[in-house]
Structure 1
């Protein structure tokens, strides 16, 4: 397997949602965290051949696929108070630039569209390496994270408790673990 400092081969790569995750963590009651994930997403990566900083990423997440392990909370997250999945069924990310931050670290600049609002977002990206898979293909692995502010995406709902503590934190940590398959098609299984 190639290490994280030798970049993946140029060309198209397809995100494999079966072997990837899109997760988020929010503060709850100011003392603990609630973890959630999106179960339906996909995307593509185009590694530029001559100048890797011109590489591109596009991803789409089905907003209604949010899963925190509690159906009542998930229903509320799908409502107009938060994701408003009836009006805004997709969360999209399109890269606008890539900057090296270390030998295996990058910042992916892009635009995130969520809840009808488009904002610039920077993803802190670690490239983990490339290797063969059991189906005869080549895979690349990435880990990325960012912190979002709910109010930037017009998600202002909150409930203040007697002690003056907000029930839900205003920031959301997003964590991505991505496997991408070289080429445009995914293998079965």
Structure 2
């Protein structure tokens, strides 16, 4: 079988996250600059090799002051660690359209294994003849596993930020010639 290369369609893709704030609500955000590539056998993603690179400084929570804090050493330290990277290690088929994507996630020079749930939304050819594949991605990580430990105690008990970070993504890939 032939190896097929796929590149991100950035105008039809997004990468977001959600974290508990003050134990009562969630704050959401996104990374506006990221890249994903995949290699498959023909158009079969069941054994895909996936690499994603995220420009951490592109974080956007719709609050510039908070975004600057997230970029500093309390959180991501983007000057020293400008990129997060995910490299797949295995694809596990759950059912016809759902997979567990195993891989290594590197944040701030710390690499840990993660599992992401991937829903295969199918492939289609656009009006210009480009073959595209779409995926919905979700997962959870504990930010402290990557040394993102900042927090503040609340007067009422509890802490400002939860440890669990929920990952959400919509990724559209374009088959390369």
TM-score bin, normalised by smaller chain = over 0.9
2:73 equivalent to 1:93: no
TM-score normalised according to structure 1 size: 0.89
- CA offsets, 1:96-144, max 9 Å, x none? 0111011111011000001221000111010001111132201110001
- Name the SS for the 1:102 alignment partner: coil
Aligned with 2:149 (options 153, 156, 161): 156
Poorly superposed stretches of 4+, deviation over 2 Å: 48-54
Residue 59 of structure 1: aligned partner:
52
Does the aligned pair in 1 maintain the 2:4–2:43 contact within 8 Å? no
Aligned residues: CA RMSD:
1.7
TM-score normalised according to structure 2 size: 0.94
Gap regions ≥5 residues in structure 2: none
Query: How many residues matched?
Result: 176
More strand by share: 2
Residue 6 of structure 1: aligned partner:
none
Gap regions ≥5 residues in structure 1: 1-8, 185-189
2:164 equivalent to 1:179: no
Q: 1:74 to 1:52 in 2, by over 3 A?
A: closer
How far apart are the structure 2 equivalents of 1:170 and 1:20? 26
